[in-house]
Amino acid sequence: KMDYIALGMAGLPAKPQVSEQALRDWFADKSDDYLAPAWVTLTHIYFKDKADADAAYSAIKAGGDAPGGERFLFRRNYVEATHALINDHLGSYIASFAFDETQADETWSAPLQSAYGWHLVKVLKRQPETLPPFEELAPQLLQDWYREQQGKARDIAVKAIVDTFTV
Phi, psi of 70 (to 5 degrees): -110, 165
Whole-number Cα distances in Å, 97 to 3, 75, 110, 114, 164: 49, 17, 11, 12, 60
In this structure, the strands spanning 112-113 and 77-82 are unpaired
Q: Is the full-model pTM beyond 0.75? A: no
Q: Is the pLDDT of residue 132 over 80?
A: yes
Question: pLDDT by residue (tens digit) across 62-117?
Answer: 988 888 899 999 999 999 999 999 999 999 999 999 999 888 889 999 999 999 99
Provide mean pLDDT across the span 46-52: 95
Instruction: State the sign of the Cα–Cα–Cα–Cα dihedral 153, 155, 157, 159.
Output: negative
Higher pLDDT, 166 or 50: 50
Q: Which of 104, 101, 106 has the alpha carbon at shortest distance from 129?
A: 101
Q: Is the pLDDT of residue 133 over 80?
A: yes
